[in-house]
Every structure is written in C-alpha cells, then in structure tokens.
Amino acid sequence: MDTTPQSEAVDKDVDRRTLLCSAAAATPLVVAGTGLAAQPAGNGPVKQPPVFPGLISRQREPDNLEFPFPTLNSAITPTHSFFIRSHFRVPDIQLGQWRLHVLGEVKNPLQLTLQEIQNMPSRTVTALLECSGNSRVFVQPKPAGVLWEQGAVGTAAWTGVSLSAVLQRAGGPRPGAVEVIIEGEDSGELKEFPNPYQTPGEVHFARSLPLAKAQQQDVILAYRMNGETLTPAHGYPLRVIVPGWYGMASVKWLKRIIVADRPFQGYFQTMEYAYFERRFGLPSLVPVTELQVKSLIARPAQEEVIQAGKPFRVFGAAWTGESAITGVEVSTDAGQNWAAATLLGKATGHGWRLWEYTWNNPGQGRRILMSRARDQRGRTQPTQRDPDRRNAMISHVLPVKVFVR
C-alpha cells in the first residue's frame, strides 16, 4: 500500500469519522443542516442522516473518494474535500528523475524538468472537474463502474502553464498533426470486466485532445491546486486541466505529450469513456468529451427530515461545458411546477455556479424536489436519462426525496 501524504490525510479522516461514530454513542449530536438532534446509536437502526467530516470511500486500492455533496458551502472546493478518481495506484514519482517528454509530430521533441516548466509564464484557471460517472448510482439498471452519488465533482483554482506554450517550445505541431495524446505515469491491468473488455496487459492512463482544444489558452499543465503544490493523489508533480470537459481528460501524473497525425483510439476513450452518438440515425461510439449542463441539489440531502411551515433554503450548484450557466429552476412538487432559483456570486471562469431557492411553507408529508439548469447555448438539463450515454455523462434531473413533518 502506498503511504502518500494524501492517503495519510484520508486515513486520518477515516479515524476521525470512527471517533465521531463512537462519540455519537455517548453524546447526542446535532445533524448538520437538519436542526434535528440525532438519536444516540443504540440497538435499533440508526435513523439520522450521517455526518461526513471527510471524503466517502467508493473503492480501495486505489482509493476512489467522493466529496459529501450535502456539505457544499463554497465556490472553491478545498483540496482535502476534492474527490479522487484513480484507475491505478498513485505512482511514486522522484522529482530528480522526472521529466515531461514532448514528442511525435513536433518540430523539436524535448524533455522538460519541473523547474523549467515553472520558469515559464504561469496562468491560474478556476475549473470544475466532474467525473463522467458522477451520479451513476441513480442510473437503472445498475451500470458498470464506480457507483458515485453526487460528489465526484469539485471546483479548484489550478496554476500552471498553457499546454500550447509547451507545444510551441517544442517548435509547434508539424503540418498533418491532428491530436495531442497525454499520457500518465500510472499504469496497470484492468480485469474487472469480462473479455474482451480488458486492457491488453499493462497500460498507462492516456487520453487525447483534438489540436484545436489542446491549443486553447486555458488548457494548462498544472503544478499547483488551490495555491499549493499538487498533492500525490491529484497528480503530483504535473497534470493537465481541460476546462469544460469531463474529468477523464485531465490526465494526472504527466509522463509524455505526444502530438499525433491520427486520432488516438486508446483504452480510455474506446473501451471506457465512450458513448453512442447518433449521426444519420446510426449510433457511433465516440469518446466522452464536453461536460453536459447539470445542476445538483446539495441541501436538502436525500431523505432529509424538514420542518413543516418553516422556510427552507434549497441550495446547490450548476455547471456546464464550453458555455455559461444562465439559470436554474427548482420544483418542490416532483416536477409539476418550476420556479427560478437565484444564482449566487459571479460566474467564475470554468467553475460551477452556486444557487439557492427559498422553499416557503413546506407542507407535511413526502416531498420530491428537483432542479434543472440551462446554459448560454440554450441547452437545458434533460428530464430523462439517455441510454446512448451508456454508463457516463449522467446529467438528467435527479429527484431529492424528503420528508416534511
């Protein structure tokens, strides 16, 4: 098992959670966001929603950890609360030996040390990362992959250099170049799916970007996250950040950047992270790329108990791909009526937009809340799940069931 500082921090959180649970047995706790006193854990089932002081574990070895979305309270997700999605164990990188290799269809292939990269003009970009499998637990029938709830998403301020500046330093793409392949240091064999959906032996995590996307100034090679050195779990020493695209494009632990003269068909954009696009009525498997417009309700949480007759602040976040959120609507009656929510703060680069809605006078009984966002390109969050998206890009309106008493 690797003992990176990040996994130690997480282990401490787990300890803290265990401590809190045993503390709950002795002292009544107030459950965050509900105003309800939790019953001490006795012999019967625990009725109160749990308190999450840290990340929720969805998979061990490698750690895949989810942000407890009902605790959302800031536009920037603190690094210790940022979800972690890793396919293989965190590579142990020694900075002395580490180089970024830039090769393929460039005029002057080169290698760069981290110091050389950090000496280039830097750029800070606020960007959201959402795993394309976020909200998968709400899809029926149960799809393949990590069963994320709401929190495989976060927004951070990333600092680094433009990928395009690094490509320029290598003399720029040669005529005929069409894509940039980005490869991580991490590798392994994936065998959880039946043949032939397994990796051909050991593979590195790798994804490609079309040249035009790779040359956008805000696509950066980041060495800092929220003002601090990238942590091992989030890609130390260097990762790419691809704003507006699902998280799988933001390759961690950079090893090589390969400019290619044909589209890359690697495992992580064919066997996984691919969906059916319909052209001329023909479903054609294409890589998952741009984020869909989406909003999620952070509070109330699923199955939260709410006081009747008292105004309740419904709160959440909304985001989209290469566009901007223009509005969010909320329904407190399972989608029959919708009312405008208030967008909070200002639109921040490629981050999410927090929003709120005051639910006046909640009436007793079972209630179903929903939110739906729209963006500047006129896209609206769909009501129904599109099965062509397979096990990814889960953006349809998700009901939050609460009990008002």
Ligand X SMILES: Nc1nc2c(c(=O)[nH]1)N[C@H]1C(S)=C(S)[C@@H](COP(=O)(O)O)O[C@H]1N2
Structural element, H or E, at residue 72: none
Amino acid identity at 188: G
Selected binder of ligand X within 86, 126, 208, 269 (CB under 6 A): 86
Beta carbon of residue 250, minimum distance to ligand X (angstroms, whole number): 5
> Which residues inside 202-261 make contact with ligand X, applying CB under 6 A?
205, 234, 247-248, 250-253
Choose the contact partner of 253 out of Mo ion, ligand X, none; CB within 5 to 8 A by kind: ligand X
Biggest CA-to-CA distance, the chain = 71
HSE-up (13 A, CA, CB side) for residue 295 = 36
Query: How is residue 62 written in tokens?
Result: 């490698």
Identify the residue whose tokens are 């601090």. Answer: 228
DSSP letters, 279-321, are: ETTEEEEEE--BPPPEEEEEESPTT-EE-TTS-EEEEEEEE-S
Angle at 291 between CA 385 and CA 120, to 5 degrees: 165
Cβ distance to ligand X smaller for residue 34 or 208: 208
Stretch that binds Mo ion, among 162-170, 243-251, 325-333, 382-390 (CB under 5 A): 243-251
> Which residues inside 166-205 make contact with ligand X, applying CB under 6 A?
184, 186, 205
Q: Is 367 in the site for ligand X (CB under 6 A)?
A: no
The closest of 198, 105, 201, 119 to 160, measured between CA atoms, is: 119
Cβ distance to Mo ion smaller for residue 153 or 330: 153
Beta carbon of residue 291, minimum distance to Mo ion (angstroms, whole number): 12
Q: Is 54 in the site for Mo ion (CB under 5 A)?
A: no
Q: Is 314 in the site for ligand X (CB under 6 A)?
A: no
Selected binder of ligand X within 52, 83, 355, 359 (CB under 6 A): 83
Choose the contact partner of 184 out of Mo ion, ligand X, none; CB within 5 to 8 A by kind: ligand X
Contacts for 345 with CB less than 8 Å, ≥ 6 apart = 75, 353, 354
**Cis amide bond preceding 45, omega within 30:** no
Stretch that binds ligand X, among 43-51, 83-91, 300-308, 387-395 (CB under 6 A): 83-91
Amino acid identity at 36: L
Beta carbon of residue 87, minimum distance to Mo ion (angstroms, whole number): 9
> What does each C-alpha distance from 253 to 74, 218, 274, 345 come to in angstroms?
27, 19, 22, 33
Cβ distance to Mo ion smaller for residue 136 or 372: 136
Choose the contact partner of 160 out of Mo ion, ligand X, none; CB within 5 to 8 A by kind: none
Stretch that binds Mo ion, among 26-34, 81-89, 155-163, 312-320 (CB under 5 A): 81-89
Cβ distance to ligand X smaller for residue 48 or 250: 250
Do the beta carbons of residue 102 and residue 111 sit within 8 Å? Answer: yes
Beta carbon of residue 184, minimum distance to ligand X (angstroms, whole number): 2
Amino acid identity at 254: L
Beta carbon of residue 132, minimum distance to Mo ion (angstroms, whole number): 5
Q: Is 63 in the site for ligand X (CB under 6 A)?
A: no
Query: Rounded CA gap, 76 and 66, in Å?
Result: 16
Identify the residue whose tokens are 């890793």. Answer: 86
Beta carbon of residue 205, minimum distance to ligand X (angstroms, whole number): 3
Residues found near Mo ion in the complex (CB under 5 A): 85, 131, 247-248
Residues found near ligand X in the complex (CB under 6 A): 82-87, 129, 131, 184, 186, 205, 234, 247-248, 250-253
